[in-house]
Every structure is written in structure tokens, then in C-alpha cells.
Structure 1
């Protein structure tokens, strides 16, 4: 009997994590609740709404700008496959575990960012500013503003690591949008 109870208790948890399994969406809600608890200040919320998109775009562009080795089998697509491709794959996998709909929307957003970066690279080739400079200009002030906003939090549940907060932030904003639009995900 005790062995059966232990077996059913283990089935309710994701292997090796101790977190509830995702079929009922509890893991996503848990992340969103933790994120919301650490972002209570109205100014901080506003800063996040304004600064998360340019920060994500800037970081994505800076990762894109990291030199990637030339792979002959890619042919004409060598410039399109780079380190940012891995970021897209990892992000989609991460968000897919939270919510399929959120992962699809994030994929569309990242593809939009990719299009903008390709256009910036074309502008750079025509004599414009380097793409990485524009991305750096987007990312640095946004990051500074987010750090300032997080410093304003007076709640006991201050935002944890910036990287973890950055990973949850886009999904959290989509979660809020879906709530307002009454979309079940």
C-alpha cells in the first residue's frame, strides 16, 4: 500500500524537478504567479511593458551578430543559420513546455525580429550603421531601466535572477494579453 502511494505521488511530479507536471497548466501558472509577485510596483510594471521587447530584440540581435562558422552544406543559407537559430530553438522548446499557444506567438515574434535584423544587415551592407550597434543601443538602456525598476520593488518577493525573469517575462505578458482577450491557452 505504501509503495502504491509513493508511486502515485511520483507520477504527479515531473521527473527530477519536484515541480507539478504540466498537463493542467500548473507549472505555467506557478511561473506567472512568482513573476507577478516580484513585480508589484506600478512604475516597475510600466518599465517592463516598455523595455522588455527592445531588450529581447537587442539581445537577440547581439547573439545574431556573434560570428558563426561557415558551413558549406548550408549553401546560400549560411547567413541565416547562426547562433540566434539555437536561441529560437531553445526558446520555443522552453515556451512549448509552458503553453503551446505562447510558444507559437513567441516563434512569430522571433521570426519578426529575424526579419528586422536581416533588413538591418542589408542596411549595414548599403553603408548604414552596423546591426550590432543598433541592437546594443536597444538593449543597454532597456536593461538599465529594468534593473532600476526591479530595484523599486519593496515586496518580499523581489525578482530573482534577471536571466530567469527575462525568460518568463515574454510569456507572462502574453499570458496577461490572453487573459484580457479571454483566450484559453
Structure 2
């Protein structure tokens, strides 16, 4: 398996244009959140400490293991971001005017339109068309910039 730095470098190759990078800072977290929202909407027949388990919770565990295997530090940031997405999904499900899955669908479609527009500007195809791993690397790529700014090694 490639190292986290190899994944990040390859992901960054098709994100050199400033506009495309800006679009990614908006759309990648939005897509991540939308996927969490979709998965959160799928309830499982299990209850733990009064909370009904959903597919997002199960996927979250595997996602964190994946990021931990890639980076012994970057997984912490992804854990925090993933937890925030789970919490927002919970509150939207409780208090929002539309179902979480519908809200997630709107965000998902809008964010992918933005992504493809950014890649049109860049003149390069999205990385996930080469390897689906890049769907998980995108959020880590952004997190790596936050880590760099904070002086934390990935």
C-alpha cells in the first residue's frame, strides 16, 4: 500500500489551480458530510445506550482504522471531522425541515457539480477515476494542509 505522502502527492497533482483548490476546500468536506448523512439515514436494528445504530457509525469505525493505518497522526483530525459530521447529521435529522437523506442528496449533487467544474478549470480528470481510494484521500489531503499550518507532522 502506498504511504500517506504518496497518496497526498498524487492527489495534489490534479489540484494545482487556485480556483480548483478553493472549490475543493468547499466541495470535498461537503461530499464527505453528504455521504455521512446518507449512511446515517440507514438505520440498523441495534440500540446501544439508547441510540439506534446506523450505517454511518459502522463505516466511521472502518474509516478511522483506514486513516490510522495510513498515518499515526492524521487519523486524529479525520476522527474529529468525522465526529462533527455525525453530530451534524444527528441534529439535522432531529430538527431540520427536510429528511437528512434529501438534504444530503442536495449537498452531494451540488458539491459534485462544483468538483467537476473545478477539474474542468484545471484541465485534469478527478483522481477517483483512476483509483477509488482517492475518495478517502481527498479529505485527508485537506486535513494535511491544516496539520501543516499547525506544525503537526502527518
Q: TM-score, with normalisation over the residues of structure 1?
A: 0.73
Deviations 1:29-68 (A, max 9, x none): 1111101112122221111011111111111101111243
Match of 2:36 in 1: 60
Report the Cα distance in structure 2 between the residues aligned to 1:108 and 1:133, rounded to whole angstroms: 24
Match of 1:47 in 2: 23
Alignment of 1:1-185 (within 5 A): 17=1, 19=2, 27-68=3-44, 70-71=45-46, 74=48, 76-77=50-51, 79=52, 81-124=53-96, 128-154=97-123, 158-162=125-129, 163-185=132-154
- Considering fraction of residues, name the structure with more strand: 2
2:73 and 2:153 in contact (8 A); partners too: no
Structure 1: stretches of 5+ with no match in the other structure: 1-16, 20-26
Structure 2: stretches of 5+ with no match in the other structure: none
Report the Cα distance in structure 2 between the residues aligned to 1:75 and 1:104, rounded to whole angstroms: 24
2:31 and 2:108 in contact (8 A); partners too: yes
Larger Rg: 1
Aligned residues: 152
What SS does the corresponding residue of 2:6 show, helix, strand or coil? helix
Cα 1:164/1:147, change in 2 over 3 Å: farther
Deviation of residue 152 (structure 1)? 2.7
Report the Cα distance in structure 1 between the residues aligned to 2:12 and 2:95, rounded to whole angstroms: 39
